[in-house]
Amino acid sequence: MKIKNNPQRVSFKAGLTPTIKFRAAQYSAAGIERLFKKQGVNADFKNNRAIAYCCGIVNDIFETLTNKYKLPFGVKPPCLTVYHDWDLINYNNTGCLGFCLPDSEKIISGKGVYETRSIFYNNEKMKTLAEMDALAESQHRSGCNSTNHFLHTIIHEWVHNIHNDLLYRVFGYDGTCPKTLQRYNTFNGAYYDPNPYVSGIEHLKQMQSSRYTPQQMEIIKKEISEYAAGIRLRSDIIKGGNPFELIAEAITKEVVDVLDPDTLTVTRNPFYQAGKHDKKLADLVNNAWYNIAGG
**Residues 122-133 pLDDT 10s:** 999 999 999 999
Q: What pTM value is reported for the model? A: 0.90
Residue 283 resides in a domain: yes
Residue 295 resides in a domain: no
Residue 11 resides in a domain: no
CA pair distance 293, 278, nearest whole angstrom: 18
The CA-atom distances, in angstroms, between 199 and each of 76, 99, 174, 193 are 21, 22, 7, 9
CA pair distance 36, 7, nearest whole angstrom: 24
Amino acid found at 258: V
Say what the pLDDT of residue 75 is.
93
Across the range 198-214, mean pLDDT stands at: 87
Percentage, residues of the chain above pLDDT 70: 85
Residue 45 resides in a domain: yes
* CA angle centred on 152, ends 151 and 153, rounded to 5°: 100
Across the range 82-98, mean pLDDT stands at: 85
Of residues 170 and 273, more confidence is placed in 170
Q: In the chain, how many domains are there? A: 1
Position 140 pLDDT exceeds 60: yes
Quick: pLDDT tens for 260-281.
Answer: 988 999 999 998 765 566 788 9
Residue 118 resides in a domain: yes
Hey, is 283 helix, strand or coil? helix
Residue 7 resides in a domain: no
Domain ranges, residue 238: 18-290
Position 174 pLDDT exceeds 90: no
Q: What are phi and psi of 32, to 5 degrees?
A: -70, -35
Amino acid found at 183: R
Say what the pLDDT of residue 170 is.
87
Residue 255 resides in a domain: yes
Say what the pLDDT of residue 7 is.
36
